[in-house]
Structure formats: C-alpha cells, structure tokens
Amino acid sequence: MKKFIFLLFILFELNLYGQTDSIEKAILYNKLLSKEITEANYSKTGAQWVELINRVKYPDLPLDQNRQVHYVVIKEFKGFDKEKLFNRTREWLAINYGLLPVNMYSDLNDGKIIFRNSLNLFNNYSCVFTSVISIKDEKVKFELMSLSYQAYYEGDYAAGIPEKSVSFNITEVYPIILKKPAEWNTDLSLFKATNKLFVTETKNLEDYILSYENTIIF
C-alpha cells in the first residue's frame, strides 16, 4: 500500500512538468502493483521500452494544470507596439495558413487572435489544433491547445474499399507504454512531430514579425 501511495505521489509531481518517459514507466509499474500485469510481462515490456527509448529519446509533452497538452511560448519584440504586432501576426496567418479575419476571432483591443487549424505532420498524419495568440506592446504569447490527430487512409475502389479518415485526441495516444510495442514508434513520432510543429510555427511567426523593416523598403 505504501508503495502504491508513493507511486501516486511521484505521478502527481511528474505531471506538473509534462508527459514524460518517467510517467510512462511509473504507469507500467502501477499496473504491476495493482496486479493487472504479471512480473514477467512487466519485465518484458519494461526491457523493450528501455531499449527503444535509448535509441529514440522520449519527446516530452507540456501539460497544463488540467493535465491537457498545452504549448506556450512568450516572445519579446523591442520597439514593436501592440497594433504593429497584431497586424503583422494577421498578415502571417493570411500568408501561411490562408486565414482571413472572417476565419478567426481577432480583436485588437483585447489583443487576441484565436483560430482552429490543421497542419500535416508526416505521411498520412496531420495535427488539428486551436491556437491562441495574445498580444501587447513588445510581447506576443503563442499557444497551441485542444490538439488532436487525423490519419488518412487511401481507398482501393477496385476492391470496393473507400478512403477514410480517423480522428483521435492526443490524450488517446498516451500512455504509449501500455499499447502494443508495434505501435510505439508511430506514437513517439507523432509526439516528436507535434513538438517540432510548435517550435517551427513559433519561429516562423517571430521571423516574419522581425522582417518588418524589409517589407517597407522598396
């Protein structure tokens, strides 16, 4: 009982920082303590997991207080007032995503831009997300939340098999360690690609804003 309570404490502490490899292993150990798996299964699965993670680093996911995946970054732009940052951000959304004001919530007074979007990750997988961009003088906060994935499968009309798309929330992907080992690589790749997407989109927005001077010289 003491081990079980201690494990719950560890899980709580780890969840303050995100979805990590440590949480995955603690969840597997919890299954052993609750006798949902045997020691033999625990040892086999644990060894397979460690071998994989030694080769492919676990892509940690940031979690909010509700234990939902929530990306947040704040960037500073010295010399840019709120209106200039707001307009540059809307320009970037129109150019990169084809999003016009009618397709999103945007209010200069509130300094808020909110939209729903979908971007390709790899192969047949795409990520659907809600983005909230908060703007004030010299600062922009970029957030991604309410993430889900969509997998597209081509059909074979000659065989009478129609194309299909399968959608699932990011929270359905973890804990990865409790799934079949054959699925681990794909799930880890989804997390890795999602982390990269956030970093890339944040950097692209930052670069566009900072290129302002170049756009007014012609």
**Which string of DSSP letters, residue by residue, matches 72-118?**
EEEEE-TT--HHHHHHHHHHHHHHHH---GGGSEEETTTTEEEEEEE
Task: Tell me what percent of the chain is helix, strand and coil, each rounded to the nearest 5.
Answer: 50, 25, 25
Q: What is the pLDDT of residue 102?
A: 82
Residue/partner pairs of 101-110 with CB below 8 Å, 24 or more apart: 108/82, 108/83
Give pLDDT tens digits for 58-97.
Answer: 999 999 988 899 999 999 999 999 999 999 999 999 999 9
The reply to whether 112 and 24 lie within a common domain is no
Confidence of residue 1 (pLDDT cuts 50, 70, 90): very low
Integer Cα distance of 157 and 159 in angstroms: 5
Domain ends where: 55, 79, 95?
Answer: 55
pTM over 0.75: yes
What CATH number did the domain enclosing 175 receive? 3.30.530.80
Instruction: Count how many domains the chain has.
Output: 2
The reply to whether 9 and 115 lie within a common domain is no
In a domain, 64, yes or no: no
Q: Write out the residue range of the structural domain in which residue 30 sits.
A: 2-55
In a domain, 65, yes or no: no
The reply to whether 87 and 133 lie within a common domain is yes
The reply to whether 88 and 188 lie within a common domain is yes
Q: What is the pLDDT of residue 103?
A: 85
In a domain, 98, yes or no: yes
